[in-house]
Amino acid sequence: MDAKASPTLANPDAEAFYTHALRQLLDLECPFLVSGTYAVSAYTGITRQTKDLDIFCKAGDYTRILSHFRELGFSIRIEDDRWLGKVCEGEHFFDVIFASSNGTMPVGDAWFEGAHTIELFGSRVSIVPPTELIWSKCFIQNRTRYDGADVAHLILKTHEEIDWERLLAYMEVHWEVLLVHLLNFRWIYPTERERIPGWLLDELLDRLHAQRQLPLPEMKVCRGRMLSRADYEIDVAEWGFADVGGEGEWREQ
């Protein structure tokens, strides 16, 4: 595909680093996808500055990519072994990502099916498909970063390419998060409401109706920690709510 736009680098000196890094990734012949601001710009035409490059891969290829660049003399950081590593050269870096920080989004084979190809820094590279790109951004909601606008813009510009059934399957356990994003889109773009399939909205609203007929959960849980560990720390540390895992207080009946 022809990218609708491309971001501008916050530090133009990083271009040579990214040019070399992408060529090395392609030479490695290890499947990867470009995500983040570059993918959003390619699909929507939104141009903004970016300070880095997000490379998505499967968990089994994560260590291969990092090891390859270490052998080439780059500095390697394992920022969080649950999902994120970095390849660095001086002040320049790119992220190597195989899941989300909250564990909801492992990169799998489906990510590579139907992935679009764009030209980036002189190389032809694949970018994350719209369905998975939306999934990757649904939980990014904290005090310093909120990707809800990216989700809305992606729905607006790529709704015909989104595999809505697959998106629902990805969000099955956390369907309320998906519903919130869809309602947010409807509020932002009242003339574009039909871009969301009617069956999907009906399904989610039916789930909400059924849930309202049930008794409240007995254990106090704060899933806000899946959005921001820092912002919802007090809920777990002082207010008796269970984290995503573990035990919390029982709600008084």
Residues 89 and 146 in one domain: no
Quote the CA–CA distance of 46 and 68 in Å, as a whole number: 33
pLDDT, tens only, 97-120 = 999 988 889 999 999 998 999 999
Q: What is the pLDDT at residue 250?
A: 66
Residues 99 and 142 in one domain: no
Provide mean pLDDT across the span 210-231.
94
Range of the domain at 175: 130-214
Q: What is the pLDDT at residue 2?
A: 78
Residues 37 and 77 in one domain: yes
Number of domains in the chain: 3
Residues 45 and 78 in one domain: yes
Residues 58 and 176 in one domain: no
Residues 157 and 234 in one domain: no
Last residue of some domain: 107, 128, 149?
128
pLDDT, tens only, 172-199 = 999 999 999 999 999 999 999 999 999 9
Residues 158 and 98 in one domain: no
Strands 75-80 vs 8-9: parallel, antiparallel or unpaired = unpaired
Provide mean pLDDT across the span 127-139.
97
Closest CA to 94 of 56, 132, 47: 56
Residues 69 and 103 in one domain: yes
Instruction: Supply the pTM of this predicted model.
Output: 0.93
Three-state SS for 94-163 is EEEECCCCCCCCCCCHHHHCCCEEEEECCEEEEECCHHHHHHHHCCCECCCCECHHHHHHHHHHHCCCCC
pLDDT grade for 249, boundaries at 50, 70 and 90: low
Is pLDDT of 5 > 80?
no
CA angle 14, 15, 17 (to 5 degrees): 65
Provide mean pLDDT across the span 159-175.
97
Last residue of some domain: 128, 163, 181?
128
Strands 75-80 vs 84-89: parallel, antiparallel or unpaired = antiparallel
* Structure token pair of residue 74: 């780059």
Is pLDDT of 44 > 80?
yes
Q: What is the pLDDT at residue 19?
A: 96
Residues 207 and 222 in one domain: no
pLDDT, tens only, 23-37 = 999 999 899 999 999
pLDDT grade for 6, boundaries at 50, 70 and 90: confident
Is pLDDT of 226 > 80?
yes
Residues 208 and 222 in one domain: no
Q: What is the pLDDT at residue 248?
A: 61
Is pLDDT of 233 > 80?
yes
Distances (CA, A) of 56 to 96, 98, 193: 6, 6, 31
Last residue of some domain: 98, 113, 128?
128
Mean pLDDT of the chain: 94
Residues 43 and 59 in one domain: yes
Residues 50 and 119 in one domain: yes
Is pLDDT of 220 > 70?
yes
- Amino acid at position 30, single letter: C
Q: Which phi and psi angles does 75 have, rounded to 5°?
A: -85, 135
pLDDT grade for 252, boundaries at 50, 70 and 90: low
Residue 99's CATH number = 3.30.460.40
